[in-house]
Amino acid sequence: MSDAPDAEPRLPPLLAPPVARLLADPAALADAVARFGSPLHLLFPAVFHDNLDRFRAVLDAGRMQYRICYAHKANRAAAFVAAAHDRGIGIDVASAGELDSALAAGFTPDRIEVTGPKGLPLLHRLAAAGVTVNVDNLWELEQLGSTGVARVPVLLRLSGFDPARPAGRFGIDLADADIALRAIAAGSTVELRGVAFHLDSGDVGERVAALAGCLSVLERAYRLGLRPGVVNVGGGFRQAFSADPVRFQRYLRALLAGLNGDGPALGWPGHTFGFHQRAGRYGGVPSFHKYGNDIGGAAMLADLLDAPLDGRPVAATLREALLELWLEPGKALLDGAGITVATVEFTKRLRDGTTLVNLDISRDTITPADQEVMLDPVVVHRRLAAEHTGPARVFFGGRLCLERDMVARHLVALPRLPLPGDLVVFVNTAAYQMDLSAAQALWHPLPRKIVVTERDNGFEMTADEPAARG
Amino acid sequence: MLYRHITELIGGTPLLRLDPAVHGVAGVELYAKLESANPFGSVKDRVALAMVDGTLDAMRAAGQTLVEASSGNTAKALRILGAMSGVELRAYTNRVRVGEVRDLLALLGADVRELPGLSECPDPTAPNDVFSVIGDLLDSSPGKFVHTSQYTNEANIEAHYRGTGREIADDLADAHGGRVDVLIGGLGTTGSTRGAAGYLRERNPDLRTVGVVSERSDFIPGIRSAAEMWDVGLFRPDFYDEIRPVESAAAIDGSLELALRHGILAGPTSGATYVAAKSYLAELDPRPGRVAVFIVCDRLEPYLSYYRKRRPELFGHSAAAPPGAAELAAAPTVDVDTLAAALADTLVVDVRGGMAYRVGHIPGAINIRDDCLDEMLTGAMPFPASTRVVFVCAVGEISARFAALLARACLPGAGLRGGILAWRDAGLPLETS
């Protein structure tokens, strides 16, 4: 494993096998664009199934009682909701629209969990619907307790496990948990099914600490005569993005060197990627650090189940207490399960020599909450051109007339300069990237979502349509 | 030998030639630089001294505190040096993963602050790593803290250049004219390899340097994995001929070989370095008289929990073999209704964890966690011959083992068939604590 010097700054992405096979088939992609237009999101339910298999294998190996709730919020597509329903797992919805989507796909209320901030109209609907409500705050609990519906099943989302961490805005603080428990014990309109938390860091130690906090609240509930049986560890299980974390890291150092004037600039002027500035120099960990990860969510779950809690692995502690583990993976189930295909509209050379390749997408088509996507796209050249056959380093620009609409604010090194009509494929975009920030400004329609199924004789492609609403 | 101050013992560590018949790499003279022989037990003693030497009195006078990103050997050395001069240490780290190291720092009175993990959706304006947190601390209390900054402090490299590197060359002056062909060391701050190789390269421009990192599947204390070398300010990837990852299992094997075949008591990181050295050297085209040196960075003893977790079989408690399948199948059991009827005359031992027991247990049951009970049973049986003992676990699997052990000792014991789950499902009462 030699760290041989390589002049090109690369960020090679991991490709799920069905995606790799599609990209290796020049006709298949061209056919998709010809039929459905450009830009396009392509969805691969087979990859969802593989990811789910990995999660199940870990949970079965731990001999857990469990429920996996697919976090719908990671992608609007019906295809993934259908895949989750077909596998008999649960679903986690975070809005009235997502609840409609789940019901339309055939989920019954006993398999639906509702998370996130909720207002009064939604709460009334949920109380009547028979779904499990993951309660964010004491007001919500109070509202659910006074709808007139008996025995609304709830989980209490808890937070504040680590005083060293700044208080987030979700969940009931540990200090208020007793108020919630006593309110539930005093009435009979709410049934406490269990407790929940959600962390977005990959640190196992933090999750174990959160679990310990949850278990102590559960104990207090039992002492009040309540009988919760569920611990919900939420989501935040990581995606495996990078095919080469060492090269990711080398790119990162080069990017930093550019910011500090120690090397050529690799970033679009004015952007600092979340690095921290101190005494005029940039350092620290950038906001896109997750793209250097190559260890998937199931492996993280395995680490959690194996971590020591109360003198034995977490899995054993939960099993012995006869608790059922719930989890809400969204991005981890969609890891590698979608790609976004864009077309090169034109290329342009700027005054300072920078090469700009303009695409028929905007930054928000693939970038969630402005977090830079640090993975090289795959370029599919449509025709062989005599000119421009050398390697190129380019910035990808977006279709909006805003300076900030750069699809990539970092330099991408390519073997050949893309030409108008070439396809640029951004990989692993199904988890939040396609939908979280997508906008329809300037009358640009949202890209269609196309479901890809591999058959013996090729790739079957159908538009993703939500199931008919009742 | 007479010394007047413990710091005089820092550096000047032995260079040990390893028996070729044991290390087995043909044509190579392999030496171990025993940094573990430093007075506080590790290679970091040099770095700590280099970073604070001559400044501690002034720091004490100014009421300043040392701050460093370390939870291990550097923190230990800085704490000791600082304490001797009346200067406190605050150490920041991500979670401390080796229990003995944490305990030792606590015993020595170091102020260790553990930081939470990195968020996947970070707030770009909030500090998110050890170095930013330290930076913010320095900014918010100007002049109060001195950051030794081992990851960027050139004194780190300098200490190894004029110390480690020079000593190796001097010790090999007679045998090899001070020439080293290959240097192998672990990559933490990378100071030891960069400093020592820097010196040795001046004497032999063809010196090859090999950096050892951990495989990502598990950690090896004190060194990073290949993907974690970011933000190590001293790291120069092009400085090394090769960066070699080693798995923790191989590191453990390596350290046990160092101990039992060479007499070197060194920790898993040195084991990793030894393993990487041998495999790298074995791959080179043989050339007689090749001289290689690897760095033994610290001692074995602080890592017993690390070994115990990964090689529990090496720490066997009882001489007796655990009950086999036949014994388990034959172990006496009792069903929930029988137990319920005989509760007053039975000693019920719940072998689950504390939380499970507290949440709900059979009325009158006591709680002895299974791992604690295992330890107790290595001695004499603590159970009476006059009273039936019934073991209870979640579903009846673990309790079978203890029923079998009591059967071996001819004591009246049984496991509850179906465990607590069966008791609960039968609607029988559970009490809470």
B94-121 pLDDT, tens digit each: 766 777 888 899 999 999 988 766 666 6
∠A56-A60-A63 over CA atoms, to 5°? 145
- How much is the average pLDDT of B137-154? 90
Judge whether B196 and B182 are in contact, CB under 8 Å: no
The secondary structure of A212-245 as a DSSP string is: HHHHHHHHHHHHTT----EEE----PPP--BS-H
Average pLDDT, chain B: 90
The residue in chain A having the minimum alpha-carbon distance to the alpha carbon of residue B419 is: A320
Q: Quick check: A200 and B95 CB within 8 A?
A: no
Answer yes or no: is pLDDT of B320 > 80: no
- From the list B127, B226, B353, which residue is nearest A317 (CB)? B353
Q: Quick check: A321 and B355 CB within 8 A?
A: yes
Q: Quick check: A285 and B118 CB within 8 A?
A: yes
Say what the ipTM of the complex is.
0.75
pLDDT interval class at A399 (50, 70, 90): very high
Question: How many beta carbons lie within 10 A of that of residue A452, not counting itself?
Answer: 23
Q: Quick check: B356 and A276 CB within 8 A?
A: no
pLDDT at site B188: 84
Question: How many beta carbons lie within 10 A of that of residue A289, not counting itself?
Answer: 23
Answer yes or no: is pLDDT of B63 > 50: yes
Say if residue B343 is exposed, middle or buried (CB neighbours under 10 Å; 0-12, 13-18, 19+). middle
A residues 211..240 contacting B (CB < 8 A) = 215-216, 218-219, 222-223, 236, 238
A227 closest CA partner among A179, A185, A186: A185
pLDDT at site B124: 56
* Tokens representing residue B131 in the block: 């170095």
Average pLDDT, chain A: 92
DSSP B117: P
pLDDT at site B399: 94
Q: Which residues of A80-95 are buried (b: 16+ CB within 10 A; e: fewer)?
A: bbbbbbeeebbbbbbb
pLDDT at site A385: 66
Share of chain B above pLDDT 70, in %: 94
Tell whether B238 is within 8 A of chain A (Cβ): yes
The residue in chain B having the minimum alpha-carbon distance to the alpha carbon of residue A323 is: B356
pLDDT at site A387: 64
pLDDT interval class at B416 (50, 70, 90): very high
pLDDT at site A54: 98
For residue range B395-412, list pLDDT tens digits in order: 999 999 999 999 988 888
How close, in Å, is residue B272 to chain A by CA atoms? 16
Q: Is the dihedral of CA A299, A300, A301, A302 positive or negative?
A: positive
Q: Quick check: B131 and A283 CB within 8 A?
A: yes
Q: Quick check: A310 and B355 CB within 8 A?
A: yes
- How much is the average pLDDT of B250-261? 97
Tell whether A63 is within 8 A of chain B (Cβ): no
Chain B residues touching residue A316 (CB < 8 angstroms): 353
Share of chain A above pLDDT 70, in %: 96
Q: Which residues of A234-265 are buried (b: 16+ CB within 10 A; e: fewer)?
A: bbbbbbbbbbbbbbbbbbbbbbbebbeeeeee
For residue range A228-283, list pLDDT tens digits in order: 999 999 999 999 999 998 889 889 989 999 999 999 999 999 999 988 887 788 88
For residue range B26-50, list pLDDT tens digits in order: 999 999 999 999 999 999 999 999 9
How close, in Å, is residue B11 to chain A by CA atoms? 31
Residue type, B232: V
* Alpha-helix residue ranges (DSSP H) falling in A279-423: 297-306, 314-320
B residues 197..236 contacting A (CB < 8 A) = 216, 226-227, 229-231
Least confident of A66-80, B277-291, B367-381: B367-381
Say if residue A456 is exposed, middle or buried (CB neighbours under 10 Å; 0-12, 13-18, 19+). exposed
pLDDT at site A5: 46
Sequence-distant (6+) residues with CB within 8 A of B152 are B233, B234
How close, in Å, is residue B3 to chain A by CA atoms? 43
Question: How many beta carbons lie within 10 A of that of residue B271, not counting itself?
Answer: 27
Sequence-distant (6+) residues with CB within 8 A of A378 are A13, A23, A424, A425, A427
Tell whether B283 is within 8 A of chain A (Cβ): no
For residue range B237-246, list pLDDT tens digits in order: 778 999 999 9
pLDDT at site B229: 66
Question: How many beta carbons lie within 10 A of that of residue B358, not counting itself?
Answer: 19
Chain B residues touching residue A276 (CB < 8 angstroms): 127, 132, 135
Chain A residues touching residue B95 (CB < 8 angstroms): 203, 205
How close, in Å, is residue A330 to chain B by CA atoms? 13
For residue range A320-340, list pLDDT tens digits in order: 999 999 999 999 999 999 999
pLDDT interval class at A1 (50, 70, 90): very low
pLDDT at site B53: 94
Say if residue A389 is exposed, middle or buried (CB neighbours under 10 Å; 0-12, 13-18, 19+). exposed
pLDDT interval class at B357 (50, 70, 90): very high
A residues 413..432 contacting B (CB < 8 A) = none
Answer yes or no: is pLDDT of B319 > 60: no
Chain A residues touching residue B432 (CB < 8 angstroms): 219, 222-223
- How much is the average pLDDT of A180-200? 94
B179 closest CA partner among B190, B194, B169, B192: B169
- How much is the average pLDDT of A360-376? 93
Distance CA A61, CA A219 (A): 26
Q: Quick check: B124 and A290 CB within 8 A?
A: no
Tell whether B17 is within 8 A of chain A (Cβ): no
- From the list A223, A238, A274, which residue is nearest B432 (CB)? A223
Chain A residues touching residue B393 (CB < 8 angstroms): 320
DSSP A14: P
Residue type, B63: G
pLDDT at site B141: 92
pLDDT at site B126: 61
pLDDT at site B132: 80
For residue range A132-150, list pLDDT tens digits in order: 999 999 999 999 999 888 8
Distance CA A25, CA A457 (A): 12
pLDDT at site B120: 64
pLDDT at site A468: 46
Quote the strand ranges of B267-309, DSSP E. 290-296
pLDDT at site A470: 35
pLDDT interval class at A98 (50, 70, 90): very high
